[in-house]
Every structure is written in structure tokens, then in C-alpha cells.
């Protein structure tokens, strides 16, 4: 049986990056992916993702997201396809809403470059957004658009160039861990390594069943709308946006990069497993998004030209799961999702590689500890 330094299971956003950083640092790596490269059954497809730094979810994310940007730029310097395009970003909503207030608190606490715009400022500077009188925005000049399929295939290319062995169409059916090694089984056979990295996205609950992680899978749809006034909706004039109307999740959007403006509005539907997720697109999904576009984005034709389903893997606290398995220190569990993880996948790969190689890590990752859901309730 071949033996590796590390086996990475799942070569989506986080796994491709982890394989690239591990192999780049000199580790022998086997990557196993159940589907093909950049497939559309998981969480990392759909052409674009938002990158932003004034993180309303908490200032603790900022060092990670800033390092992620440095790594995306490094990746960009090695490939000819677009990786990250800066457009600036607007968090729109009531000034004290979680999205606008949270982003403002983070930007202020960490002295990030930002601006607060009133409804009048927005109408003058960004007439693409039909804001209400009581709305304002936080401007994040560093925000932009990531191209996930390009990011993944570029990290896959880097991993292979550094000697990683990657098997596509090979699903891991089980794994076991001993103190000094792990064994992974697939229909093709068994593989052994010193460390195991589980970057299995929406399949994570079933891959670490013994942890009883309270992760839930949620199907989402994103839609593309054509421009009525193309000069106003391209990346030179329209920033990425998150719009908080006090509903369960924000509506967000990405400017027209040649295929229309992409809009994701609340349309989540829980799924027991990725396989049973309802991926049927119909009126029930489309109607609320069209209504949002009609009311708030006057430069768009409110009829979608395309729609794609995708999966969130949500933790109850909406943070990530990132760290060693509490009972198997040579197994690293990664679910950097809760609907906002793609922008971090570069730094997540770097952190995982350092972890596996026993190197120090500069970030406080305790909020992401996979064991945090197992802690006993404090005594009353």
C-alpha cells in the first residue's frame, strides 16, 4: 500500500487549496474527489463569489480574509485566468442592521479603509440601487469578485505541479485513524497516510459521523438578470453588494461580467443530504428574487436568463469548522462554509498545510474548533 504524508478528501474550494499548499511545502499528497474537477454538485461552482474585508460577521475574520487576499493575488500572478477582480462593495440596509452596523464596527475597530454613505449619497453615486430613505451603506473599497472555478483549477494545477497525486471519480467510503497513521478506503482500494484532511463540504456530517456535528445542508439558488442599461451594471461602475432588509438572509449581487447581474436572494431549503437536496427551479424560487430586482435594481430586466443551485453547509453559529478532530489529532476537519467561506479557501489551505506539518499558526482559530459543539453546558 502506498503511504503519503497527507490524504486530502474532497477537492473543492478548500481541498484544492490544501492539496496545493501541502504539496508546495514538500509533503507527499494524495487527493481524492468523488466527482470531476470543478463540478456543480457541491458549494464552489456558479462562476463568481464575493470577496469583502469589512467583515460584519466579526473582526476575528479580518486577519484571515486579508491573508486570503494576499494568497489570491499570489495565485493570480502565476496563472492567466482571472482569480480576483476588485470592484468595491456596498453593505446596504438600516444603519444599525447586522450587515451595515457589523461591517462598520469591524472597519472602525481595525481601521480599515471604508466610507459610510447616506441614502442621498447612494442615489447620487450608485443610482443602480433604489434605496429607501432610512437606508445607508458601508463602502468596502477592497471588496470584489472571485472566480471559483478558476481558483480551484489553478490550485489543482499548482498541486499537481508540486507532485500531488489526485484521483477524480473516487469517493472515500470510510476512514480509520491510529495514533501514527490513517487509512482511507474507496471502491478502488485502501490508502495510508500520516494525516487526513477532510474538506468534504456538504458531505462533512456523514464523513465525521462520530462527531455529531450539528451542520445542516441548505440548497440555495442564484439567478442572472440581463441589464436594461449595460453602462451601469458592469464591474467598472457597479460594486458587489449585500442588502440587509431584516429578513432571514441578505440579498447579494455581483455586477455583469458578460452574463448578466447575478443575484442571490433568500430561497434556502434545508436538505437532509446533498443527494436529496431539491434542485428543482421554478416559480416559487424565482418570484421573490424577481420582485426584489424589480423594486431595488432599476437597471435590470426582472426576468432571469439563468439559475443555478448550490449547497450551503451551515453551523448553528454561522462560523466555520476548522481544526483537528477532538479524538483524532491526525485528522483535520474543514467546513469553511455557512454560506460565506469561499473567499477564505486560499488561507484555509495554507493554515491546514501548516497544521498538518506541525508548523505554528498565527491566527486565533478557537472560534472554529470542531469540538466546540461537544462541550458540556456550564454548570448552573
Ligand X SMILES: Cc1cc2nc3c(=O)[nH]c(=O)nc-3n(C[C@H](O)[C@H](O)[C@H](O)COP(=O)(O)OP(=O)(O)OC[C@H]3O[C@@H](n4cnc5c(N)ncnc54)[C@H](O)[C@@H]3O)c2cc1C
Cα separation, 241 vs 233, whole angstroms? 12
- Site residues, ligand X (CB under 6 A): 9-15, 32-35, 42-44, 46, 49-50, 171-172, 199-201, 203, 207, 220, 222, 264, 310-312, 335-337, 339-343
DSSP H or E run through 332: strand 328-335
Give the side-chain half-sphere CA count within 13 A for 87. 27
Closer of 45 and 104 to ligand X (Cβ): 45
Q: Which is nearer to ligand X, 15 or 255 (CB)?
A: 15
Question: At closest approach, how far in Å is the CB of 87 from ligand X?
Answer: 12
Shortest gap between Cβ of 151 and ligand X (angstroms)?
10
Helix ranges, the chain (H) = 13-24, 62-78, 98-109, 119-125, 148-161, 204-207, 283-296, 345-356
Q: How far apart are alpha carbons 197 and 60 in whole angstroms?
A: 24
* Min CB(96)–ligand X separation in Å: 24
Which residue's CB is nearer to ligand X, number 132 or number 185?
185
Largest CA distance in the chain: 67
Helices and strands: H and E segment counts in the chain: 8, 20
Closest CB to ligand X among 67 and 123?
67
Name which of 104 and 340 has its Cβ closer to ligand X: 340
Torsional sign, CA 166, 167, 171, 177: negative
Q: Round to whole Å and give the CA distance between 208 and 251.
A: 32
Cβ at position 11, least distance to ligand X in Å:
6
Query: How many CA within 13 A on the CB side of residue 363?
Result: 24
Nearer to ligand X, 26 or 189 (CB): 189
Give CA–CA dist 198/328, Å, rounded: 12
Query: 46 or 102, CB closer to ligand X?
Result: 46
Smallest distance from ligand X to CB 1, Å: 18
CB of 172 to ligand X, least distance (A): 4
Residue 276 neighbours by CB under 8 Å, 6+ apart: none
Gap between the Cα atoms of 102 and 57, Å rounded: 7
Measured from the CB atom, the residue of 131 and 336 that comes closer to ligand X is 336
CB of 35 to ligand X, least distance (A): 5
- Whether 242 contacts 137, CB under 8 Å: no
Q: Give the span between the Cα atoms of 58 and 107, in whole angstroms.
A: 10
What's the min distance (Å) between Cβ of 152 and ligand X?
7
3-class secondary-structure state, position 36: coil
Q: Kindly state the smallest distance separating residue 232's Cβ from ligand X, in Å.
A: 21
Classify 198 as helix, strand or coil: strand
Torsion sign (Cα): 267, 103, 117, 247: positive
In the bound state, the residue with its beta carbon closest to ligand X is: 12
- Residue placing its CB nearer to ligand X in the complex, 26 or 214: 214
Which residues 6+ apart lie within 8 Å of 117 measured at CB? 90, 125, 126, 136, 137, 138, 139
Q: Least distance in Å: CB of 46 to ligand X? A: 6
Nearer of residues 9 and 84 to ligand X, judged by Cβ? 9
Amino acid at each position: 500500500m502506498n503511504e503519503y504524508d497527507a490524504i486530502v478528501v474532497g477537492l473543492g474550494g478548500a481541498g484544492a487549496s490544501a492539496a496545493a499548499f501541502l504539496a508546495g511545502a514538500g509533503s507527499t499528497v494524495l487527493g481524492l474527489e468523488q466527482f470531476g474537477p470543478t463540478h456543480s454538485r457541491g458549494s464552489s461552482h456558479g462562476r463568481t463569489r464575493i470577496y469583502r474585508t469589512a467583515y460584519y460577521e466579526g473582526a476575528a475574520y479580518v486577519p484571515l480574509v486579508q491573508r486570503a487576499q494576499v494568497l489570491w493575488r499570489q495565485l493570480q500572478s502565476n496563472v492567466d485566468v482571472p482569480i480576483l477582480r476588485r470592484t468595491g462593495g456596498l453593505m446596504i440596509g438600516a444603519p444599525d442592521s447586522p450587515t451595515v452596523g457589523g461591517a462598520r464596527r469591524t472597519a472602525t475597530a481595525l481601521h480599515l479603509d471604508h466610507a459610510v454613505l447616506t441614502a442621498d449619497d447612494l442615489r447620487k453615486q450608485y443610482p443602480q440601487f433604489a434605496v429607501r430613505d432610512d437606508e445607508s451603506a458601508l463602502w468596502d473599497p477592497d471588496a470584489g469578485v472571485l472566480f471559483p472555478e478558476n481558483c480551484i483549477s489553478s490550485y489543482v494545477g499548482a498541486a499537481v505541479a508540486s507532485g500531488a497525486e489526485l484521483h477524480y471519480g473516487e469517493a472515500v467510503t470510510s476512514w480509520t485513524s491510529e495514533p501514527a497513521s490513517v487509512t482511507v478506503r474507496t471502491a478502488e482500494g485502501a490508502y495510508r497516510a500520516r494525516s487526513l484532511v477532510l474538506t468534504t463540504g456538504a458531505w462533512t456530517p456523514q464523513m465525521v459521523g462520530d462527531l455529531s456535528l450539528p451542520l445542516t445542508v441548505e440548497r440555495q439558488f442564484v439567478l442572472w438578470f440581463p441589464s436594461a442599461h449595460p453602462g451601469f451594471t458592469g464591474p467598472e461602475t457597479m460594486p458587489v453588494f449585500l442588502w440587509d432588509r431584516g429578513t432571514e438572509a441578505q440579498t447579494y449581487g455581483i455586477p455583469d461580467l458578460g452574463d448578466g447581474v447575478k443575484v442571490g436572494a433568500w430561497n434556502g431549503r434545508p436538505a437532509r443530504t446533498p443527494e436529496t437536496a431539491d434542485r428543482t427551479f421554478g416559480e416559487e424560487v424565482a418570484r421573490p428574487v424577481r420582485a426584489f430586482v424589480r423594486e431595488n435594481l432599476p437597471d435590470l430586466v426582472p426576468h432571469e436568463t439563468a439559475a443555478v443551485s448550490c449547497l450551503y453547509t451551515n453551523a448553528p453559529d454561522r462560523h466555520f469548522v476548522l481544526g483537528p478532530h477532538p479524538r483524532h489529532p491526525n485528522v483535520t476537519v474543514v467546513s469553511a462554509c455557512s454560506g460565506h467561506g469561499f473567499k477564505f479557501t486560499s488561507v484555509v489551505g495554507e493554515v491546514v498545510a501548516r497544521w498538518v506539518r506541525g508548523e505554528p499558526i498565527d491566527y486565533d482559530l478557537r472560534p472554529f474548533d470542531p469540538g466546540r459543539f461537544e462541550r458540556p453546558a456550564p454548570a448552573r
